[in-house]
Amino acid sequence: MKQREIQMMDEIASRNKTEKLKAATRKLKQQQIRRLLQQKQELEESLLEKQSTLSSLEGEYCADDLDTDIKAVREPKVPFVMKPNVPKFSDPQTFNEWKLEIECMMKSGIYHQDVLRQSIRNSITGKPRKVLTTLKPDASLQEILTTLETNFGDIKTGQSVMEEFYNAKQEKYEDISTWAIRLETLIQKVINRNEIQEDKKDTMLRTRFWRHINNTELRNATRVYFETVPTFEELKVKVRREEQEMSVCKGTELPKESNVLHIDEQMKILKDLTEKMNLMEKKLNEMSREKPSQDRNESRFENRTSDQPNYRRCHIGRYRNMNRGRGFRSYRGQYPTGGYLRQDPTEQQPKTQHLNQQRL
């Protein structure tokens, strides 16, 4: 019996505790609801005040100006029937620039859709024109652009473009403007792929642009601008101005891509010439090594022939006419035994007579 009474007492105490907790939570909820209602009333009152101020400000403006603005908004733009000047598209590498120009024409609403569609079809030439054979004759502008995008558009993912942006550095042949344009195109691709928000664009461009300038002198000279200038466009103008001043002071122009390519070609030619010179040196060394051996063999052969009894010294005949008169003529060797036919001395008389006649 005592145990039952104790259990009953415990149950009653637990019930009382739960009821107290529920009551406390109810009070807290009621207090929160009252606070929210008060905030709601305050917001409604502030909205009413703002509406009254706006209505009073609108009343101050002239009614004629408001009517003209409303008419300009309500009246739709009448598109032109004239043919637009669409740029030619023949190189697949220029697809992004061409697509941007077409999208600007479409959003402007200046030209008629049918005229614009036909002029775009006519502007596609070269290799990309084969894509038109896969489309219907009545294909819309959006269908044409989507098919061209699938064939010639940029197929890189957003992550790969982000990696390319974070790995980008100014090249030696790039000036500040080309370096900035390259970064802006990369960050715009990232924004189009919804990898980052557009409000982060300016800070990312500022940090990447300044930190990875190739010229250390230019980077140190523009550190103050990087820390003080708030926008990317202003920083770009300051850095370009500093770059121009440094180039004028040094008297040297910035390196261009064509000069770098020309230097690379010259280096290749020099390498080829050095290789050829090395080959020629090797051949000359081999020839110089072989020549003394040949001279030795020839000297040995001459010594052997001079020792023989029937050896005929042919080289003595070259010096046989030395220390003799100018008119001396040797008839030796003109017979068949000497190897030559001797001329008849009577044949020479008319020649001498003719010469004597000339002297007379």
Q: What does pLDDT average to in each consecutive run of 10 residues of the chain (360 residues)?
A: 75 83 86 86 80 70 51 51 83 88 86 87 90 88 89 86 90 91 91 87 91 90 90 92 86 54 79 88 84 64 53 48 53 48 49 48
Please name the residue that has the structure tokens 């664009």.
201
Q: What is the pLDDT of residue 324?
A: 52
User: Distance between CA 139 and CA 148 in Å, rounded?
Assistant: 13
> Which has the closest alpha carbon to 176: 254, 250, 249?
254
Return the number of other C-beta atoms located less than 10 Å from residue 174's C-beta. Answer: 19
Q: Is residue 216 exposed (0-12), middle (13-18) or buried (19+ Cβ within 10 Å)?
A: exposed
Q: What is the pLDDT of residue 301?
A: 55
Q: Do the beta carbons of residue 152 and residue 128 sit within 8 Å?
A: yes
Q: What is the pTM (predicted TM-score) of this model?
A: 0.45
Q: What is the pLDDT of residue 184?
A: 92
Q: Do the beta carbons of residue 236 and residue 205 sit within 8 Å?
A: no
Q: What is the pLDDT of residue 15?
A: 82
> Which has the closest alpha carbon to 170: 121, 123, 219, 126?
219
Domain ranges of the chain: 92-152, 158-250
Please name the residue that has the structure tokens 């820390």.
227
> Which has the closest alpha carbon to 105: 80, 84, 81?
84
Q: What is the pLDDT of residue 258?
A: 53
User: Distance between CA 129 and CA 223 in Å, rounded?
Assistant: 50
The amino acid at residue 245 is E
Backbone angles phi, psi at 253, to 5 degrees: -80, 160
Q: What is the pLDDT of residue 338?
A: 47
Alpha helices in the chain (DSSP H): 2-60, 63-74, 95-108, 113-123, 141-152, 158-166, 176-192, 201-211, 216-221, 223-228, 232-250, 257-307, 349-359
Backbone angles phi, psi at 331, to 5 degrees: -100, 10
Instruction: Classify residue 89 by its DSSP letter.
Output: B
Q: What is the pLDDT of residue 182?
A: 92
Q: What is the pLDDT of residue 304?
A: 55
How far is the first Cα of the chain from the last one, in angstroms, to the nearest whole number?
Answer: 185
